[in-house]
Chains A and B, each alone.
Chain A
Amino acid sequence: RKEVEQDPGPFNVPEGATVAFNCTYSNSASQSFFWYRQDCRKEPKLLMSVYSSGNEDGRFTAQLNRASQYISLLIRDSKLSDSATYLCVVTGTDKLIFGTGTRLQVFP
């Protein structure tokens, strides 16, 4: 079983839609959680950290459920520019463990 699992997608949504991604992790000792965004043929970039109480950054909301060991990312009012692959990331032993990503395609 992979340490971080994500639905690869693609999720195809129209502009303005709300879309949510989930991610599960296997290491209950993980302390920090993140969402990274990766555009096609580019490097991953930090989108946001995920806090236990949940946190919001504009149209993006991240939540953590430690009991069930899953993390979610909600994108409201999707824009064409949100099209990318979203990587779920958790801390392992002194390193980051990346999921394989969920691809989002927003269409006009």
Chain B
Amino acid sequence: DARVTQTPRHKVTEMGQEVTMRCQPILGHNTVFWYRQTMMQGLELLAYFRNRAPLDDSGMPKDRFSAEMPDATLATLKIQPSEPRDSAVYFCASGSNTDTQYFGPGTRLTVL
């Protein structure tokens, strides 16, 4: 049963520290999405890639967030420096197209 995997599952860090989250999409999926979910805002799209090329990162604060896909099996989301308002659950999703997306279990980030 193919699944999207994400690491770490939980991360507690202090303000100002760098945070890197990783995602392994389902093999064969060419589209990868990064979302952030908070109680107040719900699920927000941060960035997405198709065939490893970034297509849209307009949802992402550019000054501190960066997303990359160094190869077809790995997507990364980095926050540097982290701030308390970044505390959220970060989901990665993959799919063969935009419509059908399979979500990973998420990384629960707490910035103190």
Query: Which residues from chain A sit less than 8 Å from chain B, CB to CB?
Result: 32, 34, 42-46, 87, 91, 94-101
> Which residue of the partner chain, among A34, A45, A95, A101, contacts B103 with CB atoms under 8 Å?
A45
For A43, list chain B residues within 8 Å (CB). 91, 103-106
Return the CB mask of B87-107 against A: 1 if under 8 Å, else 0: 000010000001111111110
Determine the distance from Cα of A99 to Cα of B43 in the docked complex, in whole angstroms. Answer: 8
Q: B45 touching A95 by the CB < 8 A rule?
A: yes
Given contacts A43-B91, A44-B43, A100-B42, A94 and B103 within 8 Å (CB-CB) = no
Q: B103 touching A44 by the CB < 8 A rule?
A: yes
Indicate if B27 sits at the interface (CB-CB under 8 A). no
Query: Which residues from chain B sit less than 8 Å from chain A, CB to CB?
Result: 33, 35, 41-43, 45, 48, 55-56, 91, 98-106
Determine the distance from Cα of A100 to Cα of B41 in the docked complex, in whole angstroms. Answer: 7
Q: B98 touching A95 by the CB < 8 A rule?
A: yes
Determine the distance from Cα of A95 to Cα of B45 in the docked complex, in whole angstroms. Answer: 8
- B24–chain A nearest beta-carbon distance, Å: 14
- Sample of 7 more A-B contacts, CB < 8 Å, known A43-B103, A46-B101, A96-B98: A34-B99, A43-B91, A43-B104, A43-B105, A46-B100, A95-B48, A96-B99
For B45, list chain A residues within 8 Å (CB). 95-97
Residue of chain B at shortest CB distance from A4: B42
For A45, list chain B residues within 8 Å (CB). 103
- B27–chain A nearest beta-carbon distance, Å: 18
- 12 A-B contact pairs sorted by A residue (CB < 8 Å): A32-B99, A34-B99, A43-B91, A43-B104, A44-B103, A46-B100, A46-B102, A94-B98, A95-B56, A98-B43, A100-B43, A101-B42
Given contacts A43-B91, A43-B105, A99 and B42 within 8 Å (CB-CB) = yes
